[in-house]
A = this chain, B = another copy of it.
Amino acid sequence: MKFWSKITQTLTPYIPGEQLNKTGIIKLNTNENPFPPSPKVIEKIKKCVGSQLKKYPDPESSELKNSIANFYGIETNNVFIGNGSDEVLAHAFMAFFKDKKLYFPNITYSFYPVYCKLYEINCQTIPLNKKLEIDINPYLSLDGNIIFPNPNAPTGIGMNLDAIEEILINNPNNLVVVDEAYIDFGGKSAVELTGKYKNLLIIQTFSKSRSLAGMRIGFAIGNAKLIEGLMRVKDSFNSYPLDRLAQAAGKAAIEDKDYFEYTCDEIIKNREWTMSELKIRGIDFLPSKANFIFVKLEDAENMYKKLKARKILVRYFKKTLIDGYLRISIGTKEEMEILVKNIDQIMGV
């Protein structure tokens, strides 16, 4: 269309997992948390629903920022808040990645190349190794910035902090963004390295381990100058990214550490149970530190379709190297039992 900018003409947007919120569907396709948000979150939101919604929210989300800083034992000027981690990522791409080459794994969160198109960033992918792990060797001494998720998506494979530190030490002039969307399910966060390395930015979300995908809250942690860069972009885009209820919900969620730990533990248990059941059946999968398992199947697309016909939604990526896998989110124990039962029936066991 003649009014579209050149960039708009070339965009191929990110496609999120299907959002079929019909009743009776077991939804294991977008890595949501099977547990509801903490009761304290629900209570807090209800308290905030009233006449004050006529007023603008705090543009800085200061109280939420404070609570996140307290949780991690850092300062508030090391925290940036956004409307979901996708918005935080978008701002990071604009704030830091525009002028240099950007490197990321060839198999990873498929939104990264989309941001690159939007902001005209020159990007290059680095292949995973044969085990579908991120091999850190190609990431040492690069001539550009770096982004990768830990654990990686959709493989679920985690990286230890020593490996991340080696990448940081060997790229002093490059920014390294670690996307920790799934870190709370058994991985170790690199937040503790942000004090030591000025070239490290961590991005996290409330959509997975905090059961708040429906409220759109993401954040970044890094040194104060990196946070200031993000603030500059945010304040040139939208002064008030989080509404009043999202700010309140986020604060209550991060302060309820017991509930957070309990629900993460349960999900890890369900993941381990599911992996052991798959193993018994001789079904292969990658070692997961996330709230999903990347499962290898002879005909993954067919299994995806057959599960869908049985009202179980998982994610299938029609993409070279990973089209033999299904990404299955970890639901409740009951949901995982139904999944395994249905796989058995489909495979004719």
Partner-B contacts on A (CB < 8 A): 1-8, 11, 13-16, 19, 21, 27, 30, 32-37, 41-42, 45-46, 49-59, 83-84, 86-87, 90, 94-99, 114-115, 117-118, 173, 175, 198-199, 207, 211-216, 225-226, 228-229, 231-246, 249
Contacts and interface: CB of A to CB of B under 8 A. Distances in A.
Nearest to A45: B49
A87 B237 contact: yes
Contact of A13 (B19, B236, B242, B245): B236
Given A36-B54, A226-B3, A246 B249 contact: no
A207 to B, nearest CB: 7
Given A214-B53, A237-B118, A94 B7 contact: yes
- Top 4 nearest A-B pairs by Cβ distance? A13-B235, A36-B51, A5-B98, A53-B214
B32 A51 contact: no
Contact of A6 (B98, B198, B214, B225): B98
B87 A5 contact: no
Contacts of A37: 51, 53-54
Contacts of A7: 94, 98
Given A96-B3, A233-B118, A238-B84, A53 B8 contact: no
Contacts of A36: 50-51, 53-54
Nearest to A100: B5
B90 A237 contact: yes
Given A8-B232, A236-B118, A241 B96 contact: no
A239 B30 contact: no
B229 A241 contact: no
A86 B46 contact: no
A25 B3 CA distance: 45
Given A30-B56, A56-B30, A56-B32, A238 B86 contact: yes
A318 B42 CA distance: 43
A215 B53 contact: yes
A211 B235 CA distance: 23
A199 B49 contact: no
A15 to B, nearest CB: 8
21 contacts: A4-B225, A5-B96, A5-B99, A6-B98, A32-B54, A32-B55, A36-B51, A37-B53, A45-B245, A49-B49, A53-B215, A56-B207, A86-B237, A87-B238, A94-B118, A115-B236, A118-B233, A118-B237, A215-B243, A216-B243, A245-B245
